[in-house]
Structure 1
């Protein structure tokens, strides 16, 4: 196992431990920190192991941080529908 996969595994363990701890802001602050730390780790994994392993690690991260992805998808969909209405 190389360092990048080890860091990704450590990130996954830290994400699960942080999810178990109580939070007043529904874990959003922790999610932002995990995203900020996870993006460089994802780049490092992709650099060392190739794009397919990078996509697997991305899917793992998205499964842990699913609510930011859901809200981003909803926001993007609303913006795209707004652009369609403006272009008519």
Structure 2
């Protein structure tokens, strides 16, 4: 197992643990921190292991951070005008 996949697994476990801890701001600060760490990690996984592993990690990250993606999609639809 490469270093990038090990770090990606740690990121997923950390994201799940952070999601279980109660929060007053509905986990948005934690989501921003996970996004800030996850995007470079996605590039590192893709660089070391290829695009298929990068795609798998991206899908996993999207499933963990689905609400920021929902709000991003709503914001983009309002900006485009659909």
TM-score, normalised with respect to structure 1: 0.90
Aligned to 1:54: 54
Residue 7 of structure 1 aligns to a residue in which SS? helix
**Cα shift at 1:52:** 1.3
Q: Distance in 2 between matches of 1:79 and 1:50?
A: 34
Gaps of 5+ in 1: 83-88
Residues 38-72 of structure 1: CA deviation (Å, up to 9, x unaligned): 11110100000111110110000000000000000
Q: Distance in 2 between matches of 1:21 and 1:52?
A: 32
Q: Distance in 1 between matches of 2:53 and 2:81?
A: 34
Q: Distance in 1 between matches of 2:60 and 2:12?
A: 8
The question of 1:2 aligning with 2:25 is answered: no
TM-score, normalised with respect to structure 2: 0.97
Gaps of 5+ in 2: none
**Superposition RMSD in Å:** 0.9
Residue 81 of structure 2 aligns to a residue in which SS? helix
